[in-house]
Structure 1
């Protein structure tokens, strides 16, 4: 991308959508001219579970539209539609790969963006706010279950006319989001790019206490992020403000888990401007079957013996067992089964801003390669926080 122009997002848009473009333009005000959106339409008018509806999402028209957008030298392409949510996520993964193969431009879709948002925030139980008919809604629940997401489904609006989705009043969409934020939902997704769900996101997140992932917002966020930028735009909810930072934290922790063969990696950090506090993790990676610690805020983390040691020493703490001080909290051992750990401080401007934890459910010696991986992770996180 040239340094002399804004980042360009190419969006493949359902032909009967009327909400997507004005909502995207409203969100882009936060970009202060650094990002522009460019649209091409493909025929989509009806959402149902039948061959006629499915045929609207054939890749050929999308590839033709993508070639036209590529003429505008866009930096990223997105299918700004949620069809993969009921037709299958593998279909969207294949579409994104085909778009890139056809144009040489990185690509994603609205459904993949929603899944990326859930991964960045560690969401495993997701509320759904949908305009569709009940059978389409149930297909979405089944699709997301295959991706490891349990769903809390608010009663859908029962529409199948794509143009009509945008005529659902924003207040009704907001009320539906509230109904989906029950039963242990860790976030709510508005799954449709022709629904007015973005305007109330900031207010609803404050009222409900959980993230709200509007499809239009999520698609723009992931497109900009995929193009190599890091959106941090206030006023539109946590995803456009904090999502890229959380995704980068998650990537570091996943890499660290693989490099060390540990059972759990976490990062805790005090960044109030991003809604992060050390008493809840900013990210977590887990081996299969390992219990999550992500949402346990029962301990005052700064008062723990191990954290006070990090504050005083400002160097990694490597513990092959817990028979010597400093001792971890009993809950880490008794509730979460941890028997060995490494901790590394992460500092900004001389302050202990946060720390990485690497947990093992058995006693183990941490070798030189483990320590090097921890040091590299700390360096990467420090760079992301800068």
Structure 2
């Protein structure tokens, strides 16, 4: 029996959500597997990544021969997207395996779906919120409303309850004209809300962890041909 196709996922060391979301999505896709590895959450330069950690993580994933590698984290948007493009290019050069990131996948999805006015439910503080407005604007996406949980400890983001995320998504949708609400941290549990849209929301809710996974899955030849 041939082993399943697989996506390889690099996630932050303190993340408690990505693996759960991946399993939930793959439950509906028999014959697709996922392999995981982690890199340290902290210690990166303010404008980029500690490349050696990613090089080692990608090389370990490559031994499991996934079809694509995904960095499933949202840091790339905060530091301006270009470091994620450089990171993906480095991993592809080192492993020969296609690579993408959650931040890059999100921009692609928003553009392709013509979702340009976004409400952002995000992990960090007000300074991070202002920075995200700038970086998304540079990619043609306008953040017109937002809620910042003011969480700096990444592990603590996983403790935010889905009902609380949902309440802020509903509030943003009711106070601004939006094309979508984006839950922006792969350690915020937004997948339940994104997977079960409510009638009173009227617009899609997008979960960052799921967007990265779906982009990686979409690059698998069999799934890409079927979509």
Paired position in structure 2 for 1:19: 17
How far is 1:183 from its partner? Answer: 1.6
CA RMSD of superposed structures (Å): 2.1
CA deviations over 1:326-360 (Å, ceiling 9, x no partner): xxxxxxxxxxxxxxxxxxxxxxxxxxxxxxxxxxx
Contact 2:170/2:201, CA 8 A, preserved across alignment: yes
User: What SS does the corresponding residue of 2:214 show, helix, strand or coil?
Assistant: helix
Paired position in structure 1 for 2:219: 226
How far is 1:52 from its partner? Answer: 6.2
CA deviations over 1:282-337 (Å, ceiling 9, x no partner): xxxxxxxxxxxxxxxxxxxxxxxxxxxxxxxxxxxxxxxxxxxxxxxxxxxxxxxx
Structure 1 residues 88 and 103, CA gap change in structure 2 (3 angstroms):
same
How far is 1:180 from its partner? Answer: 2.9
Contact 1:174/1:204, CA 8 A, preserved across alignment: no
CA deviations over 1:58-112 (Å, ceiling 9, x no partner): 2221111000000000110011111111101111111111111110000000101
Contact 1:114/1:213, CA 8 A, preserved across alignment: no
Structure 1 residues 161 and 209, CA gap change in structure 2 (3 angstroms):
same
When structure 1 is superposed on structure 2, of 114-123 and 201-210 the one drifting more is 201-210
How far is 1:142 from its partner? Answer: 0.6
Contact 1:205/1:212, CA 8 A, preserved across alignment: no
Structure 1 residues 178 and 212, CA gap change in structure 2 (3 angstroms):
same
Alignment of 1:346-385 (within 5 A): none
Alignment of 1:189-208 (within 5 A): 189-204=182-197, 206-208=199-201
How far is 1:187 from its partner? Answer: 1.1
Cα distance between partner residues in 1 of 2:193 and 2:6: 26
When structure 1 is superposed on structure 2, of 221-230 and 138-147 the one drifting more is 221-230
Aligned pair partner of 2:33 in 30, 33, 36? 36
User: What SS does the corresponding residue of 2:200 show, helix, strand or coil?
Assistant: helix
Structure 1 residues 167 and 103, CA gap change in structure 2 (3 angstroms):
same
Compute the TM-score of the two structures, normalised by the length of structure 1.
Answer: 0.55
Cα distance between partner residues in 1 of 2:26 and 2:45: 31
Alignment: residue pair count = 226
CA deviations over 1:124-148 (Å, ceiling 9, x no partner): 1111111211111211111000001
Structure 1 residue runs without a partner (length 5+):
46-50, 232-243, 246-386
How far is 1:210 from its partner? Answer: 1.7
Contact 2:10/2:71, CA 8 A, preserved across alignment: yes
Structure 2 residue runs without a partner (length 5+):
none
Paired position in structure 2 for 1:5: 3
Considering Cα pairs closer than 8 Å and 6+ residues apart, tell me whether 1 or 2 has the greater RCO: 2
Compute the TM-score of the two structures, normalised by the length of structure 2.
Answer: 0.92
Paired position in structure 1 for 2:91: 99
How far is 1:53 from its partner? Answer: 6.5
How far is 1:30 from its partner? Answer: 1.2
